[in-house]
Amino acid sequence: MRPAKGQPLRPAAPPLPEPEGNVVTVGTAARLHAAVARAQPGTTILLADGRYALSQPLHIRADRVALRGRSGDRTKVVLDGGGTLAEAIWLSTCSDVTVADLTVRDVRANGIKLNSEKNVQRLRVYNCEFRNIWQRAVKAVAVPAADRDRLAPQDCRIEYCLFANDRPKKFGDDPDDTPASFGGDYIAGLDLMYATRWVIRDNVFRGINGRTGQGRGAVLVWCDARDCVIERNVIVDCDAGISLGNALHGPKDPPHCTGCVVRNNCVTRAPEGGITALYTKDCKVLHNSVCDPTGKIGRGIRVELAADGLLVANNLLAGPKVIINTPSRVEQQNNREGVAPSAFVDAAIGDLHLVERTDGVTGAGKLLPDVRRDLDGRRRGERVDLGAHELSPP
């Protein structure tokens, strides 16, 4: 079964349960700043519909705080940095914080910044929109080596969010990104360092582009990230799609990513690389659909440098290819290149559901234990379709 043409690229977020305990409702930026500053563990701050012009970052420093739009419509609650605020939300010394049902927009650097060196754990970002964030929509920063096992951010979730910029980055958007530093290309949707057991699922990334087309792209996971799952995301018109490892930083011990799984994602027109793995160990790239028929570089799935134990299986590519350029042991299974964009419902907008049964695609793979369902939650049979979408009956 496939969705009708024109359906949303990802499903709507199920509503969160009604808050319990200490609930504070705010309707102005001043009251919002005050509520966050006073928040005790377990406080829920509900934001009435409206625009909140932020004069400084909202700094959450207590456990189990929830910052939520009251109506549940993320487009109606807007945290606005005005293009001059460096960062919108800071997290320090806190666990089990939820940020949900709101929009963060027009921020010079980071939308949400985890001050990971101050111990931030189990963050949930749910049904949020990030628009025109000119460095990172969500940034997890470096952690000191001396206490890294304790401080590295663990068990965080980013779900049902939209990450979108209205245009490529310009020099004036971010005073720290100059011709002498990153040339206007220091930009990504997510940049996660030392992440452990993060889940990034059911999000849409659109138009995350640097000034010259060499931005970091939608999802960048690196710096000893472990056991993260990146699944069921749709990425359209970003410089790069999903990157395990950072090519600008050399080999590390431990590797940039260990035991991470990239599965059931759809990536359309990400010319720097649809899915990239480098400096990884025991990672998996499974059942992804990548479409970029006019891309000049042709990097559909790109494996470079060290990638010991990598499994690349059951992926479907229209235009770009699987490029393996590493002396490491990499296993490939049932990847199909050269599929026409017409095989998908609407490749122009990034809808990479399959249209109809196609030889060499439908029923062409073997069931993998890590991917028993497709991007829509549909169960896969023993002979599975390649790519993110399961068209064949199980």
- Burial class of residue 253 (count of CB atoms within 10 Å of its CB; 0-12, 13-18, 19+): exposed
Query: What is residue 135's three-state secondary structure?
Result: coil
Q: Write out the DSSP string of 196-224.
A: BS-EEES-EEE----TTS---EEEEEESS
CA 283 to chain centre: 17
Nearest-angstrom CA–CA distance, 338 and 42: 52
pLDDT for 298:
83
Question: Exposed, middle or buried by CB within 10 Å (0-12, 13-18, 19+), for 376?
Answer: middle
φ, ψ of residue 347 to 5 degrees: the values are -65, -25
Nearest to 105 by CA among 168, 172, 164: 164
Cα atoms in the Cβ-side hemisphere of radius 13 Å centred on 14: 1
Cα 217 to Cα 219: distance, rounded to the nearest angstrom: 6
Per-residue confidence (pLDDT) for residue 249, from 0 to 100: 80
Q: Which residues of the chain have pLDDT under 50?
A: none
Q: Would you list the domain boundaries of the chain?
A: 33-345
Q: What is the identity of the amino acid at 84?
A: T
Q: What is the 3-state secondary structure (H, E, C) of 74-120?
A: HHHEEEECCCCCCEEEEECCEECCEEECCEEEEECCEEEEECHHHCE
The gap between the terminal CA atoms of the chain, to the nearest Å, is 11
Q: Which CATH homologous superfamily contains domain 33-345?
A: Single-stranded right-handed beta-helix, Pectin lyase-like (2.160.20.10)
Name 321's bridge partners: 299
**Residue 254, preceding peptide bond in cis (omega within 30° of 0):** yes
Sequence-ordered list of residues with C-beta below 8 angstroms from that of 86, at least 6 positions apart, any chain: 57, 107, 108, 109, 110
Q: What is the DSSP string of 229-283?
A: EEES-EEES-S--EEES-TTS---SS-SEES-EEES-EEES-TT-SEEEEEEES-
Smallest CA-to-CA distance from 228 within 254, 204, 194, 202 is with: 194
d(CA 292, CA 236): 10
pLDDT at 354: 96
Interior angle at CA 339, CA 333 and CA 345, nearest 5: 115
Buried b (16+ CB within 10 A) or exposed e, 41-66: ebbbbbbbeeebebeebbbbbbbbbb
Q: How many angstroms separate the CA atoms of 286 and 8, rounded?
A: 23
Helices H / strands E in the chain, number of each: 2, 40
Give the pair of three-digit tokens for residue 120.
């931030």
d(CA 17, CA 15): 7
Which residues make Cβ contacts (< 8 Å) with residue 149, sequence separation at least 6? none
> What's the CA angle centered on 212, arms 108 and 220, to 5 degrees?
60
pLDDT, tens digit (0-9, with 9 covering 90-100), for 179-194 = 999 999 999 999 999 9
What pLDDT, on a 0 to 100 scale, did the predictor assign at position 251?
73
CA distance 238 to 275: 12
At a CB cut-off of 8 Å and minimum separation 6, what does 216 contact? 185, 186, 187, 188, 191, 210, 239, 240, 243, 246
- What pLDDT is recorded for position 296? 79
pLDDT at 281: 97
Whole-number pLDDT of residue 3: 55
Diameter of the chain by CA atoms? 61
